[in-house]
Amino acid sequence: MYDGKKIGAVIPAAGMGSRMKTSEKKQFMLLENREILEWTLIHILKSETIDMIWVVVPSEFVRLVEDKVANWIEKYAFRQPIYVIEGGKNRQESVYKAIKCIPESFEWIVVHDGVRPFVDSSWLDRNLVHMSRFDSIVSALQSTDTLKIVDESHIVKQTLNRDEIWSVQTPQVFRREVLKAVHEKAIKDDFFGTDDASLLEKYNYKVLLCEGEKSNIKITSPMDLVFGRAILDWKNRSES
């Protein structure tokens, strides 16, 4: 809870993981003897602002993840209730299914990727203050690369001003009624966004980008596992 407002978190973890090029689901792959989804819950639940979590997984994994979550709750003494629900055909549908499960008494919803295991829980503590003026706050990094627009032949058409370009992460925080409304409008309009914030943008709500962390990577490819192990080693050294 923050400023008297209850906060629910949605953790989409129903992805197919095709870029990982393995039959094993990426959310269940090991990093230093802990599963990626396990690390995600460990780190995001360090924030005392979150009151309840809904983990969204493929239908055939609901029972398995329920058992895993029960073990993690006991192992780490998580105080927040964690529910496991069946996902949809895509990420957007999965998030909407979770939104419909969240009681109306929850005023804010945090959406965080199940395969971003190194989220800094203090990001929420630092930035939730902005929710008094915006419909959403989103973790992001300002681009340090030069970015170009190309045509279908990869010929450069334009160089973008990198001062105006940000790479978006999660967590993303939303007013509950706004997030539910834009998802329902998107269903009606047959619109699919690349993240939940893009739905708010389409329907002219105010989204604020707040500086994220470079270590908050998304595990999508075999190389990301190498980066993940390096991040864990760096975190262990920093904390020792």
Separation of alpha carbons 90 and 102, rounded Å: 19
The pLDDT score that the predictor gives to residue 22 is 64
Separation of alpha carbons 194 and 197, rounded Å: 8
Report the pLDDT averaged over residues 110-134. 96
Report the pLDDT averaged over residues 93-100. 98
The pLDDT score that the predictor gives to residue 19 is 60
Report the pLDDT averaged over residues 166-193. 98
How far, in Å, are 60, 94, 99, 204 from residue 181 at the CA level? 29, 15, 10, 12
Mapped onto helix, strand or coil, the DSSP state of residue 225 is helix
- Average pLDDT taken over every residue of the chain: 95
Q: Which fold has domain 6-234?
A: Spore Coat Polysaccharide Biosynthesis Protein SpsA; Chain A (3.90.550)
Are 138 and 210 in contact by the 8 Å Cβ rule? The answer is: yes
Residue appearing with tokens 């999508």: 220
- pLDDT one-digit tens code per residue, 187-204: 999 999 999 999 999 999
Separation of alpha carbons 29 and 225, rounded Å: 9
The pLDDT score that the predictor gives to residue 23 is 65
The pLDDT score that the predictor gives to residue 240 is 65
- Please give the model's pTM, rounded to 2 decimal places: 0.95
Residue 152 scores a pLDDT above 90: yes
Angle at 137 between CA 133 and CA 142, to 5 degrees: 120
Please report, for the chain, the start and end positions of each structural domain, with discontinuous segments joined by +: 6-234
Residue 20 scores a pLDDT above 80: no
Cβ neighbourhood burial of 92 (10 Å; 0-12, 13-18, 19+)? buried
